């Protein structure tokens, strides 16, 4: 709650910028939530698709957008999925570009996925969400992050975000909780740059971040849980889409995802801010 209050106060202190771009502003001594134009476009896309959001959900969306803009994180995401509402349609939208197009990286589904207000949950057998964001064409080598927020977990051999194609030397993925209780973070060569976390809880915000050929960091809920400085020799990113609830190699997840994003590399401060903002976003929604 302290972190949430801090972030709201950041928005309150924006003055004119907050009034222009949206956020929490003080009018006559009262805090008022002013929708950012990006939030408005996202909410309108949901309405056009036949879905509605509660006042709390709209507030949470605006909180996410405005705080990411304040901290410079908004420009670091290519695809960002707040997974609001309670339907497959409402969950599919990329808040960065809420058009119903593959080129806008909105999600499409196959297999069995359960959608409700708490997120989207795979069946562990067939469910998969395709972002249509191809790593080779849409991301930058040695300058990439991906994240996923998990609010329901299990002990299972499953992949929650990434892409693999069965190639050990060129993969991007996060297994948030494997059957052995560990979390596995891979960024390119899983044989020499893998980071492993003993993960008793399994819930929370996972972020994988590469900013150079010899520096790869993994985070859980804002804490840097490990880094790898082995030199990565790959000269190209894998030519495959990024998936949620799978990694294109048949390792299906039964976890529940409440948020995810994909984008360029982050500084340590940005990675911490991302975790704080997303965790506070989930707190607002009551789905931590």
Distance CA 114, CA 121 (A): 5
Distance CA 213, CA 188 (A): 10
Q: Please give the residue that has the higher pLDDT: either 26 or 139.
A: 139
- Cross-strand pairs, 38: none
The arithmetic mean of pLDDT across residues 79-95, rounded, is 98
Task: Name the DSSP class of 245.
Answer: S
Distance CA 180, CA 183 (A): 9
Q: In this structure, are residues 64 and 35 in contact, taking their beta carbons and an 8 Å threshold?
A: no
How high is the mean pLDDT of the chain? Answer: 89
Q: Please give the residue that has the higher pLDDT: either 70 or 165.
A: 70
Selection from 271, 259, 172, 256 nearest residue 219 by Cα: 271
Is the full-model pTM beyond 0.85? yes
Angle 160-161-165 from CA coordinates, rounded to 5°: 105
The CATH topology of domain 69-270 is Jelly Rolls (2.60.120)
| pLDDT value of residue 165 | 77
Q: Which of the four pLDDT bands, split at 50, 70 and 90, describes residue 18?
A: very low
**Is the pLDDT confidence value at 149 over 50?**
yes
pLDDT in tens, 71-84: 999 999 999 999 99
Give the range among 53-62, 74-83, 192-201 with minimum mean pLDDT.
192-201
- Return the SS3 of 3: helix
Torsion of CA 264, 269, 270, 271, to 10 degrees: 80
Angle 276-117-220 from CA coordinates, rounded to 5°: 30
Selection from 163, 162, 201 nearest residue 183 by Cα: 201
Distance CA 244, CA 153 (A): 14
Distance CA 149, CA 110 (A): 21
The arithmetic mean of pLDDT across residues 34-45, rounded, is 94
What is the three-state SS of 6-49?
HHHHHHHCCCHHHHHHCEEEEECCEEEEECCHHHHHHHHHHHHC
With a CB cutoff of 8 Å and minimum separation 6, the contacts of 240 are 134, 135, 136, 163, 164, 165, 248
**Is the pLDDT confidence value at 173 over 90?**
yes
């Amino acid at each position: 709650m302290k972190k949430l209050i801090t972030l709201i106060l950041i928005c309150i202190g924006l003055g004119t910028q907050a009034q222009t771009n949206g956020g929490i502003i003080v009018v006559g001594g009262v805090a008022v939530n002013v929708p950012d134009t990006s939030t408005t476009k996202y909410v309108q896309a949901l309405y056009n698709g036949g879905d509605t959001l509660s006042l709390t959900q709209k507030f949470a969306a605006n909180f996410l957008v405005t705080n990411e803009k304040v901290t410079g994180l908004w420009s670091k995401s290519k695809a960002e999925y707040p997974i609001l509402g309670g339907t497959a349609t409402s969950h599919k939208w990329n808040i960065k570009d809420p058009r119903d197009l593959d080129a806008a990286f909105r999600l499409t589904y196959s297999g069995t996925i359960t959608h409700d207000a708490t997120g989207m949950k795979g069946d562990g057998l067939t469910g998969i969400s395709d972002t249509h964001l191809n790593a080779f064409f849409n991301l930058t080598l040695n300058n990439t992050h991906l994240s996923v927020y998990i609010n329901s977990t299990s002990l299972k051999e499953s992949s929650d975000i990434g892409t693999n194609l069965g190639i050990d030397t060129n993969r991007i993925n996060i297994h948030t909780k494997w059957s052995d209780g560990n979390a596995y973070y891979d960024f390119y060569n899983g044989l020499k740059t893998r980071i492993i976390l003993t993960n008793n809880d399994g819930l929370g915000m996972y972020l994988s971040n590469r900013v150079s050929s010899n520096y790869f960091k993994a985070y859980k809920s804002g804490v840097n849980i490990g880094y790898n400085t082995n030199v990565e020799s790959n000269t190209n990113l894998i030519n495959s889409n990024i998936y949620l609830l799978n990694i294109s190699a048949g390792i299906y997840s039964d976890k529940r995802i409440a948020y995810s994003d994909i984008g360029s590399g982050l500084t340590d401060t940005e990675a911490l801010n991302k975790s704080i903002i997303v965790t506070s976003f989930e707190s607002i929604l009551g789905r931590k």
